[in-house]
Chains A and B, each alone.
Chain A
Amino acid sequence: MARRRRNGAALGACSQLTRRRFVRNGVLGAAALAVGGMPRAARAADEVNFWATGTLDIGDDGWKTVADESGVKVNFTDNGNDPGPVVAKLVVGNANDIYDTGGLQGGSEKELARRGLIVPWDLSQIPNYATLWPWAKDIPYLTYDGKIYGIPTVINADSIIALRDKAPSVDSYGVIFDPKLKGKTAMEDAWINSVIFAAIYLKNSENAKIAEPGNLTADELGLVMEFLIRHKRNGQFRTFWNGWEQGLQLVANQEVWVMTGWEPIVYAARKRGVDCYYAVPKEGYEAWGNNTVLLKGAVNRGRAQAAHRLVNALLSGFYGCKLGMMRGYVVPTDNNMAYAAAHANACDPTQVRELAEHVKKKFTGKVYWQNTRPDNFQLYETWWQRLRNA
């Protein structure tokens, strides 16, 4: 079984080549990577199958540039962003036979590491790791057992999307639960986000006894969920939304006037002519990180080194600029600005800098971290069922 090349003979030969080269060049290779890329002649055509949230995709042109600059060809597949099927496919299914790196919302790293489905990153192969914003590196769930399992790739802080002509001055999550807006609000159909938003609101504006909105105790969870159930029963929510297009459509067609949601929806809606804005809530933001993990399968297939080069490339500047321009998502490193300054015709340096400043500013205020695995995570699901049936 170990000798079988799962991805065809040609690729197998490629990864053999890479491994031999790595062993031979060792230190020299690492140093060359740090400088910013191996000389073209020495670069093997490494491939990495990257299985990540679709919003991290920069399109075939974008990945081609990444390949040109780093020597790693990226085969991007959308994993659906839902941690449920992703984890299931890793644990029970065949994801480790197909993909080399994965990208998903943080929180599941511990269990995947415990089951040996992901392996720690070797930071010596990721020189750009040092350029990550310090608080991004410090997110607790990225580390397990003293080793780094997740490299933060995209970070943002979420709040409320509001239509300017219908709700001109939203500054609190209370607007989502405001009876005057009954039937005109929405939240995401995911306890990962919606429970935190409700908890943030209750903690800061209704002085509920909640310690950590991102990690509620059983009692706190009951409090928050009863609140949501009450509002659902009153018909407060027009609907819950699932996924980009659904969320965008609700806003663009004025199906709802305010909803909790992802910031890029605001940018996309504006491009489509909808006058909406992202609120700055006094209760604070929900912070989240989408992180890249190294799958065990990559090691088995000899692609670990290429995977490290990929992650290093994601942090090296082009990816951050491109993603920022396409979506408004930020890769938490200052390399983006350096890259934009050096390649002003491809990326607008002002825009990149403003985006970075905007995100950093959000994080200087109150933020509460999202976690796909709070301590009581199975209880969250039970309560969400009750909400569904209310």
Chain B
Amino acid sequence: MSVDPTVTRHTSGGRLLFGTIAALCLAIMYAPVLYLLLASLNPDAQLGLAPPSRYSLKWYLALLTDRRLADALAESTLVGLATAAVATPIGLSAALAYRAMTRLRGLFLLVVLSAMLVPGAIAGLGLSAVLRVLGLTPSWFTVTIGHLLWTLPFAAIVSLIGLSAVKPSTIAAARDLGAGPVRAFLDITLPLIGANLVSSFIFAFLLSLSEHARAYYLVGRQNTLPLYMFGAMNSGASPTIYAFSGAVIVVSVVVVAVLFAGLARQRSEGRGVSSKAG
């Protein structure tokens, strides 16, 4: 939702300040990213900026044939999707349980948060010892278990925020109309927190994609992407890893742009239709 445009005059100072801060946030976040994008166009082996006349796609082309990076990326994507797919519903159930509790709430919250409090290396090491005793072969599956533990608290809290936006009166109305608790949840609550669940999924996916401390002790023979990156940095990286970051940015921005072009077209068409009808 947004502020009514008729009163923008009274908000312009605040909007300016907040807008500046938002721009500052973007600047801080994108400074290294943009640097990488520009530096990856530098055909030299040493990371650094080059004059635009020397720009070349050399490292991006090399990226296409880098099988090890592709394998690590595939492994990380698999682990990330699996982690997010399991963490999101379980996080939601934990949030629902929390809201339904009274006296045990504090303790339950502590249990839910416990997994994010353990330092990553020890969590991974301990879990790998336990999983070993259980006879599980180290693979993407064991990494997913470790990442599930790590991302579950985050998913639960994101779900809590989402659920807190659902007004009790809405649920009450549904119940008055005869819906059982499950029906009320599925038909009323779930659609209302849909966007929140998507955020929870993406959050968990990104957390898993960037996690390396636990993954080190839980991986099988195939490294995840962060471990591959660490290995490359420790033993000599080809600039393809910088081109990879650049490629991710470009692809993401293109996807977002395309989605928005599609949305903009939809809305203008819709407006056209409604204005004709109205």
A222 at the interface (CB under 8 A from B): no
If A88-B217, A272-B44, A272-B46 touch, does A243 touch B234 (CB 8 Å cutoff)?
Answer: yes
Digitize B178-222: 1 where CB-to-A-CB distance is under 8 Å, 0 elsewhere. Answer: 000000000000000000000000000000000000001110110
- Does the CB pair A49–B221 fall under 8 Å? yes
- State whether B217 touches A249 (Cβ < 8 A): no
In the bound complex, how far is the Cα of B237 from the Cα of A60, in angstroms? 15
Mark each residue of chain B from 82 to 118: 1 if its CB lies under 8 Å from any CB of chain A, else 0. 0000000000000000000000000000000000000
Q: Given the complex of chains A and B, what is the CA–CA distance between A269 and B138 in angstroms?
A: 38
Residues A249-291 near B (CB distance < 8 A) = 249, 252-253, 264, 268, 271-274
Contact B234 A81 (CB under 8 A): yes
A94 interfacial contact with B, CB 8 Å = yes
A12–B218 Cα gap in the complex (Å)?
23
Are A93's CB and B125's CB within 8 A? yes
Tell me the nearest residue of chain A to B68, going by C-beta: A60
Is A55 located at the chain interface by the 8 A CB criterion? Answer: yes
Pick the residue among A75, A78, A92 that contacts B231 (CB under 8 A).
A78
Quick check: is B151 within 8 A (CB to CB) of the other chain? no
Report the Cα distance A114→B220, complex, angstroms: 25
Contact at A60–B67, with CB atoms within 8 Å? yes
- The 0/1 profile, CB within 8 Å of A marked 1, for residues 39-58 of chain B is 00000111110000000000
Interface of B is mostly: helix
B46 touches A252 (CB 8 A): yes
Q: In the complex, what distance in Å separates the CA atom of A340 from the CA atom of B70?
A: 33
Given A60-B68, A85-B121, answer yes or no on A54-B132 (Cβ-Cβ < 8 Å): no
For the complex, what is the distance from the CA of A98 to the CA of B230, rounded to whole Å? 20
- Residues from chain A with a CB closer than 8 A to the CB of B32 are none
Tell me, rounded to whole Å, the shortest Cβ–Cβ distance linking A114 to chain B. Answer: 19
Q: How many residues of chain A get a CB closer than 8 Å to chain B's CBs? A: 39
Once A78-B234, A85-B216, A243-B234 are accepted as A-B contacts, the answer to whether A94 and B44 lie under 8 Å apart by CB is: no
Considering the chains assembled together, what is the distance between the CA atoms of A276 and B30 in angstroms? 33
Query: How many angstroms between the C-alpha atoms of A89 and B234 in the bound complex?
Result: 18
| B13, CB-defined interface residue at 8 Å | no
Question: In the complex the two chains form, what is the Cα distance from A80 to B223 in whole Å?
Answer: 11
A99 surroundings in chain B (CB, below 8 A): 221
Judge whether B121 and A54 touch: CB under 8 Å.
Answer: no
- Is the beta-carbon distance between A57 and B221 smaller than 8 angstroms? no
The residue from A60, A81, A97 contacting B132, defined by CB atoms under 8 A apart: A97
**B236 near A244 (CB under 8 angstroms)?**
yes
- B137 at interface by CB-CB < 8 Å: yes
| A53-B230 Cα distance, complex, nearest whole Å | 12
Contact with B along A76-109 (1 / 0, CB 8 A): 0110110001001100111001110000000000
Decide: B128 and A93 in contact? CB cutoff 8 A: yes
Asked if B128 and A244 sit within 8 Å, CB to CB, the answer is no
Q: Kindly identify which residue among B129, B221, B228 contacts A93, using a CB–CB cutoff of 8 Å.
A: B129
Tell me whether A93 and B46 are in contact in the complex, defined as CB-CB below 8 angstroms, given that A80-B230, A80-B234 are known contacts.
no
Contact partner, B234, options A245, A271, A327, Cβ 8 Å: A245
- A6 located at the interface, meaning its Cβ lies under 8 Å from any Cβ of chain B in the complex: yes
Chain B positions 212-255 with a Cβ under 8 Å from a chain A Cβ: 216-218, 220-221, 223, 228, 230-237
The reply to whether the CB of A41 lies closer than 8 angstroms to some CB of chain B is no
Give A115 Cβ to nearest chain B Cβ, in Å: 14
Which of B46, B68, B129, B216 is the one whose CB lies under 8 Å from A80? B216
A81 contacts B128, CB within 8 Å?
A: no
Closest to B46 in A: A272
A54, A77, A89: which contacts B221 (Cβ < 8 A)?
A: A77
> How many angstroms from the CA of A246 to the CA of B44 in the assembled complex?
17
Q: CA of A248 to CA of B230 in the docked complex: distance in angstroms?
A: 15
**B81 contacts partner chain A, Cβ-Cβ < 8 Å:** no
B132 close to A94 (CB less than 8 A): yes
Interface flag for A42 (CB, 8 Å)? no
Are the CB atoms of A54 and B235 closer together than 8 Å? yes
Q: Which residue of B lies closest to A243 (CB)?
A: B234
Q: Output the nearest chain B residue to A264 by Cβ-Cβ distance.
A: B236
Shortest beta-carbon distance from B39 to chain A in Å: 12
A5 smallest CB distance to B (angstroms): 10
| B14 interface contact, C-beta 8 A | no
Q: Does B149 contact A (CB under 8 A)?
A: no
**A1 touches B (CB below 8 Å):** yes
A1-32 to B contact mask, C-beta < 8 Å, 1/0: 10010100000000000000000000000000
Give the residue name and chain of the B residue nearest to A79 (CB). Answer: B231
Chain A residue at minimal CB-CB distance from B233 = A245
Cα A305 to Cα B135 in complex, Å, equals 25
Tell which of B45, B231, B232, B235 has the most Cβ of chain A within 10 Å: B235
Q: Is residue B33 contacting chain A, with contact meaning CB distance below 8 A?
A: no
Known: A6-B137, A94-B132. A244 touches B48 (CB 8 A): no
Residues in A neighbouring B135, C-beta threshold 8 A: 1, 4
B163 within 8 A of A: no
**Residues of chain A lying within 8 A (CB to CB) of residue B223:** 77-78
Known contacts A80-B231, A97-B137: does B44 contact A273 (CB below 8 Å)? yes
Q: How far is the CA of A268 from the CA of B47 in the complex (A)?
A: 13
- B interface residues with partner A (beta carbon < 8 Å): 44-48, 67-68, 121, 125-126, 128-129, 131-132, 135, 137-138, 142, 216-218, 220-221, 223, 228, 230-237
Name the 7 nearest CB pairs between A and B, nearest first. Answer: A54-B235, A78-B231, A243-B234, A272-B46, A93-B128, A245-B233, A94-B138
Given A88-B121, A98-B220, A272-B44, 5 new contacts (CB under 8 A): A80-B231, A81-B235, A85-B217, A243-B233, A245-B233
